[in-house]
Amino acid sequence: MSQFTEIRNKLAFNIKHGNIQGSLEVAKATANFVDLIASSDGWTVASDLLKIVNDEGKKLTTALPLHATVANVLLQLMHIIRAEYYYAVNQSTQAVQRFVESCMNCEEIQEKKFSAQCPGLKDAILDHIAEYRTELDLSVDNITEQAAEQIQPGEVIMTIGRSSIVAAFLQAKKAAEHLSDFQVIVAEGAPQCEGVKMAELLAKSKIQTTLISDTNIYSFMSRVTKVILGTNLVLRSGGLRALPGAHMVGLVAHEHKVPVIVVAPTYKFSSMLSESHQSDNETFNLLANPKGVAKFKDGIIASNVKVLNPMYDFVPPDYVSQVVSNIGTYGVSHMFTAINELYGAVEESAKDLKMAVV
């Protein structure tokens, strides 16, 4: 039990039960929590701070196994703390660059104990965390600014399910050029069928929208000029962990040579390598409640039939063309480097937060 237990429990409760809605709000709340820890008096050297954040982070992610954003933000902030320490110790940006590049070599990292006293380290860390939080606040704007270049007039865009960032992206384009005549085809994304809500959102902004069932994705793809997807996570390999049905969209788009653009802010970039990423207790995918697919009250189904309702879909990096994020647009082959900058080496960040990251 620590001084942060109560705050952590309240945060976990609010996120778990929908009081904090949407991945952006969750990311902001988590960054807030780390800020609180960093500004407290409980630490003097960087290793202490890292230990506290690690411990609290472990408990927080165990309580919220279905929210990958929480783990991502925690890991990114821990990397920031390490980078600031390295800078404070060496007083040069070159050293930091070397630090980042040396992230491939984890022996060097292990030697660094992060225990040297550095005056001004606390302020530097707090500043950097504040910068990170500002970045979070501006993430939606930074992404939607790029909408104008990404979408051309007369485009037919396909998307699946509901993603608030994709909706904002499309709405921004419409708002910027009122007469731009692009149209959007929304696949419903069974069994959640959030595509219906997406179609409502887009229609409210006067975007020409068509709602189709997932089974018709292939037949409509011949008219589509671009696919824009939201995602749960972007993996280091450039692949995605997205909602069920996304793999199918990517596959069909690939066959029709339609570019697939993924809109994802940095807090959705994950340190996981790929779908077969194995570590202590991480799972890539889960089987969720079958109630979306079949009804429990139907005795024949409930007793005799195995009803599968996977939570996520893996989209291989081959099917993805570009990732539009708040730090710029990346080609899929550059994702590995981009994510390294956020998290450090694979081996290094794998040691952080040994908990149930899902």
Partner 1 sequence: MPPKDKEILKEKEVLQAVVVDDLLSTDFPFSGPKGLLRLANVRLLDYTLSCLSAAGVEQTLVYAAQGSEQLQEHVRASGWGEPGAMAVQVVACQGSLTFGDLMRELDARNAIQGDFFLLTADTVCTADLRPLLLRHRATCARDKNAVVTLAFAQAEPQHAARTEPKQLLLGTAASGRVLAHQRLDPDARNLDLPLDLILQGPGVELRYDLSDPCLAVCSLAVPPIFSDNFDFQTRDDFVRGLLLNEDILGHTMYAHILQDEYASRAHSLPSYLATSVDVIRRWTFPLTPDVSLSQVDRGYRLDVVFNICKQSDVSIGRSDVEDCVIGEGSVIGDNCRLRLCVIGKNCVIHDDVDLCGAVLWDQCVVKKGFKKSHFLAPERTVLSKNNDKSISVKVEERMDSVDSDTDSSEDEGEAADEVDEYENFFNEVQDSLERGFGEKVNTDDLVVEINSSRFANDIPANEVSLWVSKVVLGLPAALKKPPKDVLAYFRPILRKYVGKASADHLNCLLALEVSAQNIFSHAKPFKNNKIAECNSFVCLIKRMINLKKN
Q: Please give the residues from 336 up to 355 whose contact with partner 1 meets the rule CB under 8 A.
A: none
**Among the listed residues 130, 148, 175, 302, the single contact to partner 1 using CB under 8 A:** 302
> Distance between CA atoms of 134 and 132, rounded to whole angstroms?
5
Spell 256-292 as b/e; 16+ CB within 10 A means b. eebebbbbbbbbbbbbbbebebeeeebebeeebebee
Phi, psi of 354, rounded to the nearest 5 degrees: -65, 90
Residue 42 lies near partner 1 (rule: CB under 8 A): no
For residues 348 and 346, what is the distance between their CA atoms, to the nearest angstrom?
A: 6
Question: Binding to partner 1 by residue 193, rule CB under 8 A?
Answer: no
In contact, 330 and 315? CB cutoff 8 Å: no
Separation CA 75–CA 57 (nearest Å): 9
Q: Which is nearer to partner 1, 223 or 295 (CB)?
A: 295
344: number of Cβ within 10 Å: 26
Q: Return the structure tokens found at 66.
A: 């279905």
Whichever of 179 and 308 has its CB closer to partner 1, that residue is 308
Say how many residues touch partner 1, by CB under 8 A.
Answer: 42
Q: Is 80 left (phi over 0), alpha (psi -120 to 50) or beta?
A: alpha
Task: Answer yes or no whether residue 179 interacts with partner 1 by CB under 8 A.
Answer: no
Please choose, out of 12-20, 37-45, 178-186, 327-335, the segment that lies near partner 1 by the rule CB under 8 A. 12-20
At its nearest, how many Å lie between partner 1 and the CB of residue 9? 3
Which residue among 21, 51, 66, 101 contacts partner 1 (CB under 8 A)? Answer: 66
| Closest to partner 1 by CB, 36 or 211 | 36
**Dihedral of alpha carbons 159, 163, 164, 169, sign:** negative
**Angstrom distance (rounded) from CA 294 to CA 296:** 7
Which residue in the set 310, 328, 333, 337 belongs to the binding site for partner 1 (CB under 8 A)?
310
Among 40, 296, 331, 337, binds partner 1 (CB under 8 A): 296
Q: How far is the CB of 5 from partner 1 (least distance, A)?
A: 6
The set of residues, in sequence order, having a beta carbon less than 8 Å from that of 160 and lying 6+ positions away, is 186, 187, 189, 195, 214, 217, 229, 243, 245, 246, 249
Q: In angstroms, what is the minimal distance from the CB of 11 to partner 1?
A: 8
CA distance 333 to 302: 44
Give the nearest distance from C-beta 278 to partner 1 in angstroms: 10
Tell me the sheet residues that pair with 321: none
Among 32, 47, 54, 62, binds partner 1 (CB under 8 A): 62
- Determine which residue in the list 164, 309, 322, 329 makes contact with partner 1, applying CB under 8 A: 309
DSSP 161: S
What is the full DSSP assignment across 202-255?
HHHTT-EEEEE-GGGHHHHHTT-SEEEE--SEE-TTS-EEE-TTHHHHHHHHHH
- Residue among 289 and 333 whose Cβ is closer to partner 1: 289
Q: Does 356 bind partner 1 (CB under 8 A)?
A: yes
The nearest distance, CB 82 to partner 1, in angstroms, is: 27
Binding segment for partner 1 (CB under 8 A), chosen from 121-129, 250-258, 297-305, 331-339, is: 297-305
Q: Of 85-93, 137-145, 255-263, 293-301, which segment contacts partner 1 by CB under 8 A?
A: 293-301
Residues numbered 253 to 292 that lie near partner 1 (CB under 8 A) are 280-283, 285-291
Residue span binding partner 1 (CB under 8 A) among the ranges 29-37, 68-76, 204-212, 303-311: 303-311
Looking at the Cβ atoms of 142 and 309, the one nearer to partner 1 is 309
- Footprint of partner 1 (CB under 8 A): 1, 5-10, 12-13, 16-17, 62-66, 280-283, 285-291, 295-300, 302-303, 306-310, 356, 358
